Amino acid sequence: MVSNETMPILSNARGTPTVTAQVEGPKRPKPFLLRPEDACAFVIFGASGDLTSRKLIPALYNLACQELLPPGFAVLGVASSPMNDASFREHMCQRVKHSPEVLVFRQKLWDEFVPALHYIMADFADAAGYQQLGQRLREMDQEHGTNGNRLFYLATSPSFYAMIAKNLAQHGLVSRRSGAAGWTRLIVEKPFGRDVESARRLDEMIHTVFDEEQVYRIDHYLGKETVQNILAFRFANSIIEPIWNRHYIDHVQITAAETLGVEHRGKYYEEAGCLRDMFQNHLFQLLALVAMEPPVRHYGQSVRDRKADVLRAVMPVSAQTLAEVAVRGQYGPGERQGQPVPGYRQEPDVAPDSSTETFAALKLLLDNWRWANVPFYLRSGKRMPQKLTLIAIEFKRVPHLFFAETPQDQIEPNVLTIRIQPDEGIALQLGAKLPGPELYLRQMQMNFSYGEAFGEFPATAYETLLLDAMQGDPTLFNRSEAVELSWQILEPVLEAWQATRAGTSFPNYAAGTWGPARADALLARDGRAWKNATTLPRFYVTEADT
Amino acid sequence: MELALEKMDDVTVVILPGEELDASNAKEFKGDVAPLLQPQAKVVLDLSQLRFVDSSGLGSILSCLRQLTTTGGDLKLCGMSQRVRALFELVRMHRIFDIYTTRDEAVRAFRPEREPQP
């Protein structure tokens, strides 16, 4: 008997999930992932950059190993660094060989994959570069059979997005309608704008060239297995949904903590700060997945509509309430793993009097039926004690406790912890009787670990997302509206913080701690506390992440 | 988990005992096989007794392959039943591994002069 775990599961007419495929017998099961049908040219602007060699090419190589790239697939790298096909291939080979992202490096599989890699040296601002690009793409249509299908990936600084889109159109490299001439799609990396106005302007510019259906705004968080599992956990388990609301849930915490400082990204970070870098995309996406209503189906607009509803429901932060719902911080010198580390202002490319926040915490309320008066506390910071991304759902306390030996205030509420990283999994904290003649209660954990249940496969976020883009499935990509809504939520905070930059008492937390005291006060005012190392299950041991 | 070992020249053949490799014993398998995954080791994993492997079991075999290939060694698989092969294909792992029908073929494949096609 084959376990259902490995079988594709569909619903029958009555809506009951059924296993539809058997391993043995005449009908063989369909593979979990399907190979895209359309050949295409995958054009990477910024191909000499870190993202290409660290994430994109390893992901494409993994897909090639699994026969998930369409026949006739080819990559064309575009950047200003002096390289040709041969040197680009060699550079990528060295990076893929030592990449922790690849399933396994096998020379035989690499040799099969590598003829698909091409490179042209071009300046993004130079018309000649786009003429060369057009010529090379036409040649690739002949050589590889890419059939005029183009997937453009902007792995460049955001300042080039508008320029590249405009030039692609001016040189006739964009088809707005798919047809005999092929389709064109555009993948855009975050950050998409830096406020409502700039995001809107960028959208308007891109929409003069591409229809919204052709634009795929990528946030690799959405491709993570554990992030996708939030919807599976909520909507594939009938015991969860009935308690997922204000009647049972006291509050929700979302934490994305990093142990690293700003490293070599000081220049970027000085302009961005924590709110723009983490909240507008990653944290708000997690918020949307936790709080959304059930979609009609897991495809296209349905999921994105429901996620947008959540962002639309976030109650605006006003100047009057700002101090009560938002906290910012910046790390000063401190310690990591017993070693002294510099403060933010001592990092390279950072102003010695910088007022950029490296930590932010927000308390948000959703103005809708399901979540009325349930606070969502979001925080993110650099140089914290643990690398940790998690969602903690704290349920309400029981209304009456009759265990005389255990005082009510010693019984913790149930907490469901969804660990996005590390040690991906889900834990539920429960009260249980201690063994012995007396009826003492203590907290225990029920734990589901991805690694133990499904094996330790390497991360697959980019594989999933690239495959979806090739197949024209936008479900896991951000829509224009959601990006704008995210900026709308943040804008009052960004503006107020900008206006009071001079008044910050930075640094206000030491590297290696959980942020400023005011972040603790944010929850303490409501009689709550952050789920930190001391309050989390044993799975969170301090680890030496890099 | 009692792994049966056989040495054929410089190749170590590991015969996986039991019919199942899944979440219940994948961790144990990884622990037991770990001492064999030395740098540059040539290992054949004989799966002829295996009837069922889930993603956790597959992950443990993949983990062996990753460890070996990063230190100059390699892992080849042999003796897969049709069912197990189908499961490898289901999760598209069949090209990642070198898979041979018999143990002898897998061992011979480590000898470059007579390398057959997998």
Reported as a single tens digit per residue, the pLDDT across B50-96 is 999 988 888 899 999 999 998 999 999 999 999 999 888 888 888 99
Rounded to whole angstroms, what are the CA distances from A208 to A72, A201, B11, B61? 30, 11, 62, 50
ipTM entry:
0.88
- Quick one: closest CA in B to A105, which residue? B69
- What's the mean pLDDT in B32-55? 93
Highest mean pLDDT among A299-303, A431-435, B70-74 belongs to B70-74
The DSSP call for residue A248 is T
CB of B34 less than 8 A from some CB of A: no
Any bridge partners for residue A216, and if so which? Answer: A187
A220 is catalytic: no
Cα–Cα distance for residue pair A483/A268, rounded to 1 Å: 20
Instruction: State yes or no: pLDDT of A336 exceeds 70.
Output: yes
Highest mean pLDDT among A188-192, A222-226, A480-484 belongs to A480-484
Top pLDDT among A484 and A455 is at: A484
pLDDT computed for residue A22 by the predictor:
34
Instruction: State yes or no: pLDDT of A16 exceeds 80.
Output: no
pLDDT computed for residue A546 by the predictor:
32
Query: Which region among A421-425, B12-16, B17-21 has the lowest average model confidence (pLDDT)?
Result: A421-425
Instruction: State yes or no: pLDDT of A71 exceeds 50.
Output: yes
pLDDT computed for residue A33 by the predictor:
67
The model's pLDDT over A315-325, given as tens digits with 9 standing for 90+, comes to 999 888 899 99
| CB-nearest partner of A32 from B27, B54, B90 | B90
Contacts of A32 in chain B (CB under 8 A): 90-92
| Assigned token pair, A455 | 């094996």
- What's the mean pLDDT in A403-413? 72
CB of B60 less than 8 A from some CB of A: yes
A17-26 b/e (C-beta count within 10 Å ≥ 16 → b): eeeebebeee
Q: How far apart are the first and last CA of chain A?
A: 43
Contacts of A453 in chain B (CB under 8 A): 23, 56
| Assigned token pair, B13 | 């053949």
| CB-nearest partner of B55 from A33, A65, A454 | A454
pLDDT computed for residue A406 by the predictor:
67
CB of B3 less than 8 A from some CB of A: no
Distance from CA of A301 to the nearest CA of B (A): 28
CB of B69 less than 8 A from some CB of A: yes
Instruction: State yes or no: pLDDT of A92 exceeds 60.
Output: yes
Residue whose pair of structure tokens reads 């509509």 in the numeric block: A305
pLDDT computed for residue B118 by the predictor:
56
pLDDT computed for residue A35 by the predictor:
85
Q: Which of A57, A519, A515 lies closest to A331, judged by CA? A: A515
C-alpha dihedral (A329, A330, A335, A339), degrees to nearest 10? 160
Measure CA A502 to chain center. Answer: 32
CB of A353 less than 8 A from some CB of B: no
Cβ-defined contact of A67 to B95 (cutoff 8 Å): yes
Rounded to whole angstroms, what are the CA distances from A383 to A151, A170, A505? 37, 45, 18
The two beta strands, A249-257 and B11-15, are unpaired
Q: Which of A168, A159, A179 lies closest to A122, judged by CA? A: A168
Contacts of A31 in chain B (CB under 8 A): 89-92
- What's the mean pLDDT in A5-32? 39
pLDDT computed for residue B93 by the predictor:
87
| CB-nearest partner of B59 from A6, A105, A455 | A455
Cα–Cα distance for residue pair A244/A291, rounded to 1 Å: 9
Reported confidence tier of residue A224, pLDDT bands at 50, 70, 90: confident
Highest mean pLDDT among A85-94, A391-400, A406-415 belongs to A85-94
In terms of C-beta distances under 8 Å and separation of at least 24 residues, what long-range contacts does B33-37 make, across chains too?
B33/B3, B33/B64, B36/B5, B36/B12, B37/B64, B37/B67, B37/B68, B37/B71, B37/B73
pLDDT computed for residue A417 by the predictor:
94
pLDDT computed for residue A375 by the predictor:
98
- What is the pLDDT of chain A when averaged over all its residues? 87
Distance from CA of A108 to the nearest CA of B (A): 10
The two beta strands, A425-433 and A441-449, are antiparallel
Query: Which region among A89-98, A327-336, A514-523, B24-33 has the lowest average model confidence (pLDDT)?
Result: B24-33
Cβ-defined contact of B93 to A66 (cutoff 8 Å): yes
The DSSP call for residue A531 is -
Contacts of A28 in chain B (CB under 8 A): 86
- Quick one: closest CA in B to A101, which residue? B66
Cα–Cα distance for residue pair A431/A402, rounded to 1 Å: 13
| Assigned token pair, A43 | 């054009």
Reported confidence tier of residue A459, pLDDT bands at 50, 70, 90: low
Cβ-defined contact of A455 to B63 (cutoff 8 Å): yes
- What's the mean pLDDT in A293-307? 89
The model's pLDDT over B95-104, given as tens digits with 9 standing for 90+, comes to 999 999 999 9
Beta strands in A34-80 (DSSP E): 41-45, 74-79
A-to-B residue pairs, Cβ atoms closer than 8 angstroms: 78
Reported confidence tier of residue B18, pLDDT bands at 50, 70, 90: confident
pLDDT computed for residue A456 by the predictor:
62
Question: Which of the residues A118, A144, A220, A282 is marked catalytic?
Answer: A282
Prior bond to A191 cis, omega within 30?
Answer: yes
Q: Could you write out the three-class secondary structure of B1-62?
A: CCCEEEEECCEEEEECCCCEECCCCHHHHHHHHHHHCCCCCEEEEECCCCCEECHHHHHHHH
| CB-nearest partner of A6 from B27, B54, B95 | B54
- What's the mean pLDDT in A389-413? 82
- What's the mean pLDDT in A352-373? 97
Helix (H) or strand (E) segment spanning residue A391: strand A388-395
- What's the mean pLDDT in A481-503? 92
Instruction: State yes or no: pLDDT of A199 exceeds 70.
Output: yes
| CB-nearest partner of A455 from B55, B82, B92 | B55
Structural contact between residues A75 and A118, judged by C-beta atoms closer than 8 angstroms: yes
